[in-house]
Structure 1
Amino acid sequence: MKLLSKYVEFKNGKKRPTSKGTIPVYGGNGILDYTNTANMQSGVVIGRVGVYCGSVFLVREKCWVSDNAIKAMCKENMDLGYLYYLLSSLHLNERRIGTSQPLLTQSILNNIEVEIPELAIQKKISSILELLDEKIKLNNEINNNLEQQAQAIFKSWFIDLEPFSNRKPSDWSVSTLGNVSIMGAGGDKPQNVSPIKTDLYKYPIYSNGLSNEGLYGFTDKPKISEESVTVSARGTIGFVCLRHIPYVPIVRLITLTPKTEIISAKYLYLWLKQLHITGTGTTQQQLTVPYFQKTEILVPSQEIVTLFTTTVDPIFEKIWANQNENEKLSSLRDTLLPKLMSGELDVSGIDL
């Protein structure tokens, strides 16, 4: 066993520049912005402080690493892909110091003891894991394209009114979100929570976070079983998600369950996606149920809502199928990761 400092150079990031450009700026939760200068050519970005302390991001291009993150750069005989998966397997968040404000330091990282295989073995291990991550990435790209298709159809029908000679039909009306949906606010987190999905804890818990559509964990009983929509009410206000699996919403999240005799969840979701949703307040903006209920929404005839929903249903079914495949691929990757890193799975005989 040797210290991680033998293989990796760690440096704190710097305050992000104000200039704009095409070079990504990384923080503890991923890309924050884009600038025109870089302070790392390639490496792994590690969340240094706060809720994202210990998160890791593989970066194979030049970037700027901000002051709430740490740069990890390969020394001799260290493969970058292997370094990323190694750091992912070390549960860095559990090595933090501090309670109210978690912190990860260069000293903590430098003094982690590791056993590193020869470079050829490193490359084989990272190649196996990267094949899974590349498939996950491809599925996400396909889903982004499918989502854009659904939004384009919605815009054509209900914003530009192209199928209706660019005029609102006389049997359509304008109503409010409070009239077309049952709106509520998320509550406290459930008593029974698991960070991973199990046979017992299979229902997702969602918060107002952006990462992984706000997934907080899993629990044993859902609060909402119908297809519905959630909107973040604090932080990044107006982050809209369509929910088709029974779930539990928690604080800082507004839920909208459509009255299906008026509109569908998919129509409601796509309507909200094209809105600029804002909250109230000066020092700390928030979106409240009474305020949001007053928001106007176009209500087409039931016949058109049904026709539209039938049109976009296959798009969302494909999106959900890809998400389900990604869940299985992620589970396989996470199962293989510790076994490959520990040498329990021997890859020396694999030809890649």
Structure 2
Amino acid sequence: MKVKLGDVIQLNPSEKLPKGERARKIAMDNLDTYAREISGFDFDEYKGGTKFRNEDTLLARITPCLENGKTAYVNILEKDEVAFGSTEYFVLRANKELINPLYLYYLSVSSDFRTVAIKSMTGTSGRQRVQKEAILNYEFDLPSLKEQERIVSRIGCLDDKKALNDRINDNLDLLLTTIFENKINNKNFTKAHLTDIATYRNGLAMQKFRPDDNEQSLPVLKIKELNQGYIDDSSDRCSAEIDESVVVNTGDIIFSWSGTLLVKNWAGETAGLNQHLFKVTSNNYPEWFIYEWTKHHLQKFQSIAAGKATTMGHIKRSDLKSSEVLVPNNDELDKLNTIMKPIYDKRIEVINENQRLIGLKRILLQRYF
């Protein structure tokens, strides 16, 4: 049955929440990229913003949050609880007699819906917003409620498993860092600097390395892909003949040194590294060692970048050279490696499983939406 979205949902439904009352607040920062689950919340006095309940879908309507995949399903509230959040959300509430709330969420993250929403954006550069009419007038084929439930059960189990994996990986990451910070503060270790233990290879301006017709190519890893954790159909392509030093493989350590500063293990497919990203490697030290030392200085790097009088904060290579590390001798490093490597390797294993789940989810979204 062909319908318009406005016929089966309420957009920004009215809710009662008196100003000054303390309530759960879900900010834009609490929505992860391309994730169904909400990652956190605060309690705050309600002064304004969108209001919502469990089973609502939160859709970021402003650039670049929408393009970055900030769309979430509300499922962390108590029964009848009303929460609030950013004025830059559209709240989508399902008419349950016509559309399953989770089916509505998966519709809102489908490629076709996102394309229509993004194309409707208007406004000044950097502050463009999705138009309400584009949401309400979006046309799609709506299956029966029974078929919707079948589709939701197939896709939902993948998100359920990924959510569990995310909790496991958060705990593994915390464990790894806790042990590292506890063991590494040893006055007998040798002082050195980040650039002494690791190589920070900057990516290329990949627009200069476009593939020729019929030439083998690679997807380009940019900050967007690093944030979302995988390559998608909108990712750029580059020649496969680029230098091996800027080819990124699954598990490689990537450090974004400009814009959004973060350190991650890349778990997507083989890609070409774009500028503003470092590939972090070492010939002499384990990956967990260079990963943790880079992450150890990340907050300082973020402060440096935030202090730049530009719209694109960044750090310099000199900031890496001046960042101190402590290096154990070979025997001590081997002892630490027996503890740290299994935890680090398990993290990579879980990340890779999540990527397989994401790939399956994308296939199912393309099939059903």
TM bin, normalised by shorter chain, reads 0.7 to 0.9
**Cα distance, 1:3 vs structure 2:** 1.2
Partner residue of 1:346? none
Verify the 8 A CA contact 2:59 2:90 in the aligned structure 1: yes
Residues in 1 aligned to 2:84 and 2:193: alpha-carbon distance in whole angstroms: 44
Map of 1:175 onto structure 2:
192
Aligned to 2:274: 250
1:87 to 104, 108, 125: 108
The TM-score, its normalising length taken from structure 1, stands at 0.77
* Residue correspondences, number: 320
Q: Which amino acid aligns with 2:300?
A: I
Structure 2 residue matching 1:330: 3-state secondary structure: helix
Q: What residue is the counterpart of 1:291 in the other structure?
A: 319
* CA distance in 2: counterparts of 1:20 and 1:254, whole angstroms: 43
Aligned partners of 1:204 and 1:246 also within 8 Å: no
Distance 1:283 1:12 in 2: 40
Q: Quote the RMSD (CA, aligned, Å).
A: 3.5
Say if 2:166 is the partner of 1:140: yes
The 1:192/1:85 distance shift into structure 2, 3 A limit, reads farther
* Letter in structure 2 aligned against 1:232: S
After TM superposition, the structure 1 = structure 2 runs for residues 117-132 of structure 1, keeping only pairs within 5 Å, are: 117-132=143-158
Does the CA-based 8 Å contact 2:26-2:86 persist in structure 1?
no
- Determine whether 1:41 maps to 2:53: yes
- Aligned pair in 2 of structure 1 residues 287, 19: CA closer, same or farther (>3 Å)? farther
The match for 2:89 is 69
- Which of 254, 268, 272 aligns to 2:294? It is 272
1:58 alignment partner in structure 2: 73
Counterpart residue number, 2:28 = 26
What is residue 135 of structure 2 aligned with on the other side?
Answer: 109
Deviation for aligned residue 1:19: 10
- SS of residue paired to 2:315: coil
Q: Distance in 1 between matches of 2:264 and 2:158?
A: 25
Which of 120, 137, 147 aligns to 1:97? It is 120
Is the Cα–Cα contact under 8 Å of residues 224 and 247 in structure 1 kept in the other structure? yes
Name 1:344's counterpart in structure 2.
none
**Amino acid aligned to 1:57:** A
Corresponding residue number in structure 1 for 2:36: none
CA distance in 2, matches of 1:246, 1:340: 28
Percent of residue pairs identical: 18
Counterpart CA distance in 1 for 2:263 and 2:204 is 18
Amino acid at match of 2:12: K
| 1:254-283 residue CA offsets vs partner (Å, 9 max, x unmatched) | 3432241xx322112112323332325442
Q: Retained in 2: the 8 A contact 1:208–1:252?
A: no
1:207 to 213, 219, 223: 223
Q: 1:329 to 1:254 in 2, by over 3 A?
A: closer
Which amino acid is the alignment partner of residue 156 of structure 2? Answer: E
Moved more, 105-114 or 19-28: 19-28
Verify: 1:240 aligned to 2:286, yes or no: no
- Mapped contact 1:206–1:215 kept (Cα < 8 A): no
Deviations for 1:283-307, whole angstroms, at most 9, x for unmatched residues? 2342111222211111111232233
Amino acid at match of 1:139: N
Given residue 165 of structure 2, which amino acid in structure 1 is its aligned partner?
Answer: N
Measured after TM superposition, the shift of residue 189 of structure 1 is 3.1
Mapped to 1, the partners of 2:220 and 2:9 lie a distance apart of 37
Secondary structure of 2:64's partner?
helix
After TM superposition, give the deviation of residue 202 of structure 1 in Å: 6.3
TM-score when scaled to structure 2?
Answer: 0.73
Q: Is it true that 1:308 corresponds to 2:308 in the alignment?
A: no
5+ residue gaps, structure 1, are 162-167, 194-199, 342-352
